Amino acid sequence: MQITSPLAEDYIAEYCSQNDEALFRFHKNILENHPQQHLQSSWVQGELLSFMAQMKRPKYILEIGTFTGFAAMCLAKGLQPNGELHTIELREEDAKQSLENFKISPHQNQIYLHCGNAKNIIPTLLYKWDLVFIDADKTSYIDYYNLILPQLADDGIIIADNVLFHGQVFEENITGKNAKAIHEFNNYVANDERTEQVILTVRDGLMLIRKVVKS
Ligand SMILES: C[S@@+](CC[C@H](N)C(=O)[O-])C[C@H]1O[C@@H](n2cnc3c(N)ncnc32)[C@H](O)[C@@H]1O
């Protein structure tokens, strides 16, 4: 199930910037030729990630789930000149291809790719994250959230993708393994007093999370 009306999606896509020609061509090529193109963020979602990163101007960005590197290249646009984006990909083939893909990004020298299971790699990256994008296996979202939170800067932001999971989380009896895991994640964050959150109906649902900082 698509969360928002196809009419709205088409209209939004038409009026959303497409200024980065090289990245736009790259994204289109994946959509037309990659057998798992559905895993890639939509162009509009990529523009939103890029917009948020440019507002935030992070020094350290973490992405969990690289796939082809599209979202990483969008996020990297907001990095400070001496900033770093670390992205983690489990599948070797995707990791290798992403390294090639990053060559079209003016920020390629600021992008660090780690190949392996994010649960093992996150604890080895000792940075204070300003911006984190969680977009990998849905059954591990709670683990990723708990691993990241102690390393999140006080004014840092976590963006979690697919939190409406094709509308399956609206069902009274959720049956799908991934939808169940996402629903549990949404509940977990909603009941966590350490953070506050908001959900946007962009593509498959994005949750924005930040720490509650007591003054
Ligand atoms: C939805 S895709 C990421 C799309 C990308 N973030 C984008 O927006 O263009 C999810 C990726 O997470 C990877 N992945 C799945 N489980 C993982 C894990 N345990 N550690 C690291 N990456 C994982 C998958 O191989 C896949 O490439």
Domains parsed from the chain with CATH numbers: 6-102+118-211 (3.40.50.150)
CA of 213 to the centre of ligand 1 (A): 30
pLDDT at 197: 98
- pLDDT tier at 213, thresholds 50, 70, 90: confident
pLDDT at 115: 98
pLDDT at 2: 82
* Pocket test residue of 36, 67, 104 for ligand 1, highest count of atoms within 8 A of CB: 67
pLDDT at 1: 80
Instruction: Give 84's strand partners.
Output: 60
pLDDT at 108: 98
pLDDT at 209: 98
Ligand 1 pocket, residue 91 CB under 6 Å: yes
Ligand 1 pocket, residue 69 CB under 6 Å: no
Ligand 1 pocket, residue 117 CB under 6 Å: yes
Q: Where are the beta strands (DSSP E) in 70-139?
A: 84-89, 111-115, 129-134
- pLDDT tier at 42, thresholds 50, 70, 90: very high
Backbone torsions φ then ψ of 24, nearest 5 degrees = -65, -45
174: left (phi over 0), alpha (psi -120 to 50) or beta: beta
The DSSP symbol for 42 reads P
**Which tens digit of pLDDT belongs to each residue from 11-30?**
999 999 999 999 999 999 99
For residue 46, give the amino acid letter. Answer: G
pTM of the model: 0.97
pLDDT at 13: 92
Closest ligand 1 atom, CA of 94?
Answer: 27
Among 2-11, 90-99, 194-203, the range scoring the smallest mean pLDDT is 2-11
Of 123, 105, 15, 106, the C-alpha closest to 114 is 123
Helix (H) / strand (E) element for 211: namely strand 206-211
pLDDT at 65: 98
**Which tens digit of pLDDT belongs to each residue from 149-194?**
999 999 999 999 999 999 999 999 999 999 999 999 999 999 999 9
Structure tokens given for 138 = 């849905």
pLDDT of 215 above 90: no
Q: What percent of the chain has pLDDT over 70?
A: 100
**Which tens digit of pLDDT belongs to each residue from 76-126?**
999 999 999 999 999 999 999 999 999 999 999 999 999 999 999 999 999
Structure tokens given for 128 = 């204070």
pLDDT at 4: 87
- Locus of tokens 């992205």: 87
Q: From CA 105, how far away is CA 111, in angstroms rounded?
A: 9
The DSSP symbol for 53 reads H
pLDDT at 214: 79
Closest ligand 1 atom, CA of 40?
Answer: 9
Instruction: Give 200's strand partners.
Output: 206
